[in-house]
Structure 1
Amino acid sequence: MTTVGTWNLENLFTPGGPFGPTTPDAYEAKLAGLAEVITASGADVLAVQEVGEPAALAELAGRLEGGPWRQATSGCFEDGHPIRVGFLSRLPFEVVADTAAFPGALAPVQRADEGAPISRMGRGVLAVRVTEDDGRDLLLAAAHLKSKLLSYPPGPGGRPRFQPRDEGERARVAAYALYRRTAEAVTVRALADRFLAGQGRERRVMVMGDMNDGPEAATTQILLGPPGSELGTPGADRPDHGDGARLWNLAPRIPEGERYSRIYRGRRELIDHILVSHALLGRAGDVGTLRAGRDGLPSVTDDPAARRDAPASDHALLRVRLGAAQP
């Protein structure tokens, strides 16, 4: 059995910079909270998002039980807020892809009222080949798509704004974010196509991370590939010619009471996802979420700076236990 998970670590930076905890004590509390949940999850491999500094991820790995834990982080991120995806693993792995460029046929998209359009993801998608204890390989891709939490061009003094000047600006910035998230979903799907190569019945592929949209959102649906056999539909258990190219979102297998990974203004959302190829669908038996602390997830607002000294994360950890592979 192999347990694979994904977790947005919420701005994992060392203290003293513009994004991380303001004190060493707050940083230690954050590391302790993260380590507690990861240990409780039983994860063998964890895709992570919002790693601000590889050094902070290494410190987190040093606090985990059952080590040694290996780490890898993407080299693709934005300089202004250098959060990136990565992996923690106590199984051996190798990096097989670290990319951010949109597929060649996809035109650049508008990102703001002014300035050049962009042709790259804000945070790259990192993929690794993990060797399970039985010697078989898993191809795992970690992604973090553009957030729905909107930020606006700085005002006087260069301070970031989290509220628009008017509703026209709010609508435009929301559209730019959606353009980017859609293009990023296409980019992740292109990498999945490369790994699947139409052989998803045999190739053990997983795509996971913070997709910043729910299971039914158009951006999330792009990741699935050919439609028609989603879990919970009449075609889910029927062989289909598209099975070699499909990915299945495991969201319907999460117990209904746990089926959320963030709370935004009091509303529960499932925006973190694990998708698997046909070769892994039968092995994906136990799917669930874990939250830090006794009080569960906090309700977040549009100001990410408000949680700068908060312990652990504002997301739930999502994990799946893969049963033994068939001979």
Structure 2
Amino acid sequence: MTTIGTWNLENLFSPGSPFGPTDATTFARKISLLASTIAAADLDVLAVEEVGDPAAFDALIDALGDGWTGVLSTHFDVDHAIRVGFLSRLTIEETTEHTAIPAALQSTPTSDDGTPLTTMGRGALRIRVTVGGHPLDLLVGHLKSKLLSFPGRVPGTTSFSPRDEAQRARFAAYALNRRAAEAVAMRGVADDLLDGEGATRLLAVLGDLNDEVRAATTQMLQGPPGSEIGTRGEKSPDKGDAWRLLNLAPLIPEERRFSRIFEGRAELIDHIFVSTALRAHVTDVDTVTGATALPSITPDAAARKEAPVSDHAMVVATLDL
């Protein structure tokens, strides 16, 4: 059996950094709680998001103990240096980074200044491991957040409050445009990995997609429609199986089918998609929150700077490989 998962670690920064806790004690507690949750889930490979710096990542690997290794993306937004990565007890045999936005979408409006969108904000990272004698590719991404920020009145600063409702609506559209372009970029990487062989190739696409199952940006990752889990066509092979990615969300028990609570509303924004071949090996899917219940968060990200637990649940899938 092999267990894979995805988890937004929520601003895993070393103490004293702009987005991290102010003291080493709070940081050490967060590392301990993250490590204990990962260990309890008995994971083999975990995709992670919001890793703030390599030193914090190394501290988590050390806390996990012998047998664990990790790899981080080197691509991030300089204004908020969070990265994607993988923690693994399996040997990581290959690693590739992916950042480019498709040329046709680089003119997508994503800011008032009209700067072309050429790269994903946090990039995507692909690794290959071997499970049950078969190569398994895993691709992690972290798409643009729905939480909005706006240019501050002082040049070079940021505000979480818009100047007016026209600005709020405009920047919501910019964020949606960016998230959609990043979803298309990830879908393109998946296309290259599948290469029309999804009925035999093992691929998982994981990460914080910052939107729910039925959102258009999430749906973009699926590829050909028609045989989604829970639909009438699920058990019927078709030509789309060569390219399709299946969202495992419907397999999560309904009472735990959420990964974040935003202003009191539970939502599933962290996802695992699998190729047709890998779907045949999925035996169980669930969310994991650790020793404490998920907090309800607000748009004020700075309010959780000292929080010792993540505001996301882990999404975990077990494979009979």
TM superposition shift of 1:103 = 2.0
Look up the equivalent residue of 2:186 and give its one-letter code: V
Instruction: Give, in whole Å, the separation in 2 of the partners of 1:63 and 1:220.
Output: 33
Q: Structure 1: how far apart are the matches of 2:134 and 2:278?
A: 12
Letter in 2 for 1:10: E
C-alpha deviation, 1:46, in angstroms: 0.3
Residue deviations 1:251-283 (CA, integer Å, cap 9, x gap):
000000010000000000000000000111111
CA positional deviation for 1:160: 2.4
How much has 1:299 moved relative to structure 2? 0.6
Q: Which amino acid aligns with 2:265?
A: R
Shift of 1:116: 1.4
State TM-score, norm by structure 2.
Answer: 0.97
Mapping 1:283-298, distance limit 5 Å:
283-294=281-292, 296-298=293-295
1:209-230 CA deviation, whole Å, 9 max, x = no partner?
Answer: 0000101000000000001111
Cα separation, partners in 2 of 1:158 and 1:2, compared to 1, 3 Å: same
Q: Which residue of structure 2 aligns with residue 135 of structure 1?
A: 133
* 1:100-119 matched pairs, under 5 angstroms: 100-119=99-118
Worse overlay, 114-123 or 23-32: 114-123
SS of the residue corresponding to residue 57 of structure 2 reads helix
Task: Please tell me whether residue 151 in structure 1 is matched to residue 149 in structure 2.
Answer: yes
> Which secondary structure state, in structure 1, belongs to the residue aligned with residue 149 of structure 2?
coil
2:221 maps to which of 217, 220, 223: 223
Q: Distance in 1 between matches of 2:52 and 2:154?
A: 27
| Matched letter for residue 89 of structure 1 | S
Structure 1 residue ranges without an equivalent (≥5):
none
Aligned residues: 321
Q: Compute the displacement of 1:85 (Å).
A: 0.3
Residues 27-56 of structure 1: per-residue CA shift (max 9 Å, x gap) = 011101111111111110000000111121
Normalising by structure 1, we get a TM-score of: 0.96
Q: Is the CA contact 1:109–1:119 (under 8 Å) kept in the aligned structure 2?
A: no
Contact 2:106 2:116 survives alignment (8 Å):
no
1:292–1:312 Cα contact (<8 Å) kept: no
Q: Matched residues, percent identical? A: 54
CA contact (8 A) 1:206 1:274 kept: yes
Distance 2:103 2:111 in 1: 22
Quote how far apart the aligned CAs of 1:76 are.
1.2
CA contact (8 A) 1:260 1:270 kept: yes
Q: Tell me whether 1:316 sits opposite 2:318 in the alignment.
A: no
Q: Which runs of 4+ in 1 moved over 6 A?
A: none
Match of 1:53 in 2: 53
Matches for 1:262-281 after TM superposition, within 5 Å: 262-281=260-279
**Counterpart code for 2:22:** T
SS of the aligned residue for 1:184 comes to: helix
Contact 2:259 2:267 in 1 (8 A): yes
In the TM superposition, what are the counterparts of 1:99-248 in structure 2 within 5 Å?
Answer: 99-132=98-131, 134-156=132-154, 159-248=157-246
Alignment of 1:93-104 (within 5 A): 93-104=92-103
CA offsets, 1:277-313, max 9 Å, x none? 011111111100011333x100111111100010120
3-state SS, counterpart of residue 156 of structure 1: coil
What amino acid does structure 1 have at the position aligned with 2:101? F
